[in-house]
Each structure stands twice: as structure tokens, then as C-alpha cells.
Amino acid sequence: MTTLSPTPEWGTEDLDLDSYLARIDHPRVAPSLDALRSLHIAHVRAIPFENISVLLGGPPELGVKAVAAKMVNRARGGYCFEHAPLFAAAAEQLGFTVRRRLGRVGPQRSGPRTHALLVVTIDDADHLVDVGFGASIWQPMPLIDGAEVDQAGWAHQVRRTELGWSLWRLKQDGWEPEHEFEDVPQLAVDFEVGNHYAATGPRSPFPGKLIVKRLSEGVSRTLVGNELTVEHADGRTEKTTIGFDQLGEVLPGLDIDLAPEELDALRVKLGG
């Protein structure tokens, strides 16, 4: 596989790297597998997965300047089409070799390519870097058929497919596919198309309901609509129904602080 050099269309140099590293509380590092793992964990720990911008304004801007203004300067979160360009720009400035890719979530349902992910090469070995997959992936995964990696307490596996690679998660009833991607070059316009469908498509979950996800070691917290679910790696699950009038208290607990006008607009959008 020929690796393409970063092109100006991705806006890698538009990122203020020091501000990003301060946001995720991580020092500058030289490229290595340990450094990639540390950066991945720091990013997921610091930056929430959330679709509030989609709910309030439709497809978010994907340029690195716009993504950084929101997720770095304003300390907000975003969904995969925002997480992936931000992490890619930082990794490339640090000297990593990055390939931007698109995947199908729920490949068994033949969905569209609406997931943005990255492949990073270290010492001639490829690794799946998936900082924007619903706060599910804690650290990189080697692209080796059958490789299994503990993701903050949940077992995940990558498998080679006829088209490329698929990500699987071990659940109570066995292994279940999460997404599948082809390792073929993408252009910025491909991300724009996927982003538009994810933010507006009739089969996409993002334009119709509030989705916020946070992952830490052994604990996953997910707010979908008005249901907050806390899952523990040992199998315990707690569910709480919240009122939209409680968002001002619930969202900060998920590391999201909205301006008062944004919170009011979100409540109106959700009918609360």
C-alpha cells in the first residue's frame, strides 16, 4: 500500500499544536507506538463525543481551524468527522504517518460510509486509530487479522475482510461487528459527503436525538435522548431517565459546558 503524503486540502498546518496538546494534557512526543497509544488515550479522555452542533446547526465545518476553534479553544466535543481531522492534524505535525479513511458502521446492515477513522503506520506496521468512534476505542489496534485489544475493559478485535478490515466487540452473546473499512485513499470532499449524510440523512441517528458518550477505564457513560446509561466493564449497568430541564446539570457531568443560549436552544430543539 502506497502511503500518500499529507496534502494542503487537509489543513494539517492550520492546527495550533501546543493548544491541542494543552487541551488533552499531553507533552510533545516523537513518533513511536507508545506515544501514539498515549496520545490516543489522552484525546479520548479529554474530548467528549457529542452531536450538539449537528442538532443545532446541521453539518459541522470540518476544516481544521473550525474544528480546533470548537473542540480545542472552546473545550467542546464533536463526532467522528470532527475528531478524526483534529487528531490527524496533530499526529502529522508530530511526525506520524496518517491515512484518513471512511467506514461503514454496522456493516451487517449495509449502511453508508459515515464513519471517519485513521490508520497510522509505526515501524512499517499499521494501526487503527479511532478516537471518534462513539468514545468506544481507548487505544490503537494493530491491523493484524484476529488481533484482540482491551479497550478500557471491553474486548475488541480486528479482522481482515474481503474489502479491508472490520472492528468487532465482544458482547454477552459473542462477537459483534462494529464497523468495516477499506484501506483506500480518501479526499477531503469524501469526508464532506459522509459528514453531510451523517448530519442530515434519514437513517442517521445524529440529526434526530441527543447523543453524548464518554469513556474512561472500566466505565462507559452514554446519553441518548433522555436516557443516561452507565456501563461498567464488570457487566453492571445503570440507567436513568432525565428531563431536558436537567441538561444544565447532566451535561457538565459529561464534560460539556454550553453557553446559556446554546443550552436554551438545545432544550427548545429537544422539546424540553
Separation of alpha carbons 84 and 107, rounded Å = 20
Sheet holding 219-224, edge to edge: 49-50, 211-216, 219-224, 227-232, 237-241
Which residue type, as a one-letter code, is found at position 188? A
Which residue type, as a one-letter code, is found at position 47? I
Which residue among 26, 43, 83, 115 is the active-site one?
115
Separation of alpha carbons 104 and 114, rounded Å = 6
Let me know if 257 is a catalytic residue. no
Please compute Rg for the chain using Cα positions. 18
Determine contact, residues 267/245, Cβ cutoff 8 Å: yes
Separation of alpha carbons 9 and 188, rounded Å = 7
SS3 content of the chain, % helix, strand, coil (to 5): 35, 30, 35
Query: What is the DSSP track for 198-226?
Result: HHH-TT-STTTS-EEEEEETTEEEEEETT
Which residue among 26, 40, 43, 80 is the active-site one?
80
Let me know if 43 is a catalytic residue. no
Let me know if 40 is a catalytic residue. no
b or e along 42-56 (b: 16 or more beta carbons within 10 Å of the residue's beta carbon)?
A: bbbbbbbbbbbbbbe
Bridging pattern class, strands 97-105 and 49-50: unpaired
- Residue 62 to residues 11, 84, 137, Cα–Cα distance (Å): 10, 10, 21
Q: Which of 125, 134, 245 is nearest to 179 (CA)?
A: 134
Catalytic positions: 80, 115, 130
